[in-house]
Amino acid sequence: MEQEQLILQERPNGLPDKDTFQFKKVEVNEPEEGEILLKTLYVSVDPYMRGRMSDAPSYAAPFEVGAPLVGGNVSQVMKSNSDQFTSGDLVTGNLDFQEYNVVKADKVRKVRTNDLSPSNALSVLGMPALTAYFGMMHIGEPKKGETVVISGAAGAVGQVAGQLAKKVGSRVVGIVGSKEKAKYITETLGYDAAVEYKKGNVSEQLKETCPDGIDVYYENVGGEISDAVWPLLNVFARVPVCGAISTYNLEEGEKDIGLRVQQFLIKSRVKMQGLLIGDFAEHYDEAYQALEEAVSNGELKFEETIHKGFHAIPDAFLGLFSGENIGKQLVKVADKE
């Protein structure tokens, strides 16, 4: 049986373009003993994947040129030579971007979405939500009455992070890139205010929406938006640093120049800390339980922006950097059988 793969054709310099990606036809292997044959239903496109397209050393090994991209995936088990799964099971894992995968059973785990859409295993019950949970609850530690600001507030992580802070009684202000996103976070998610950075003067907008200063800043974007946050940080503020999407497409040798943070960290004794969910592996159960409960009782709202078809992956990925997505950006590759 033939299938399509999405290959890294060449490493991008700056924003990826059509030369970055290549579709390729390859044979699907037969699963050996202990292996399972998976049919891809959804793939996840995430900003961090941009880092893996470069060969600079980072926390995740670079993708290889000529090899498939790898990322979050929800698949259906088509054939199982393992006693861990049976045909029809829905599973999730980090898999090659192709229509079918043949992997050892321990490369994936069953999705926790139950009656929900399997896509949720890549959004509100998956990596972005865990990232929001650990960044907000383990580093941000918001308290009742505190002011929490989130950049990228309508994105996959931001939409969850703010609701977790609302749940403990914080005031939540989201920074977003459009009127539509502002409406989403205030009306659907219940955030207290929105700052639209494309309107300009983020600093003034933040002062107006955060009259008592900022106690937690959940960092997703970096750049000038964040520079406007530092002067407003309150004493003992916490800054979980989850992402800096504004920097991911810098060209080779280009540096991310802006306001240095030291003076603000000293003045207000701020803790600023980078995170990856893998660092919190021992707390996954705690996080999944909290998220599942919040989703099932309707406390945790979320959106998914779903592109259709395997060939939509490059556009879906690039859409992350133009800010097109509300909530989690996904690609639906096939229907569940």
Q: In whole angstroms, how close is the CB of 186 to a copy of itself at the nearest point?
A: 26
290 touching a copy of itself, by CB under 8 A: no
Q: What are phi and psi of 175, to 5 degrees?
A: -100, 125
Instruction: Say if residues 95 and 5 touch (Cβ distance below 8 Å).
Output: no
What secondary structure does DSSP assign to 197-228, as a single string? Answer: GGGS-HHHHHHHH-TT-EEEEEBSS-HHHHHT
Looking at the DSSP bridge assignments, the partners of residue 217 are: 149
Q: In whole angstroms, how close is the CB of 13 to a copy of itself at the nearest point?
A: 17
d(C-alpha 128, C-alpha 245), whole Å? 14
Among 132, 275, 291, 312, binds a copy of itself (CB under 8 A): 275
Among 260, 296, 308, 309, binds a copy of itself (CB under 8 A): 260
Among 58, 94, 114, 201, binds a copy of itself (CB under 8 A): 58
Among 71, 162, 177, 222, binds a copy of itself (CB under 8 A): 222
* CB-nearer residue toward a copy of itself: 29 or 235: 235
Nearest to 242 by CA among 129, 337, 126, 333: 129
Among 28, 272, 290, 334, binds a copy of itself (CB under 8 A): 272
274 touching a copy of itself, by CB under 8 A: yes
Q: Are strands 214-218 and 147-151 parallel, antiparallel or unpaired?
A: parallel
Among 271, 283, 301, 311, binds a copy of itself (CB under 8 A): 271
Q: In whole angstroms, how close is the CB of 307 to a copy of itself at the nearest point?
A: 26
Number of residues that bind a copy of itself (CB under 8 A): 36
15 touching a copy of itself, by CB under 8 A: no
Q: Are strands 35-44 and 70-80 parallel, antiparallel or unpaired?
A: antiparallel
Q: What are phi and psi of 126, to 5 degrees?
A: -140, -155
Tell me which residue has tokens 């983020």.
202
178 touching a copy of itself, by CB under 8 A: no
Tell me which residue has tokens 């690609």.
331
Binding site for a copy of itself (CB under 8 A): 58-59, 219, 222-223, 226-227, 235, 241-244, 247, 255-276, 279
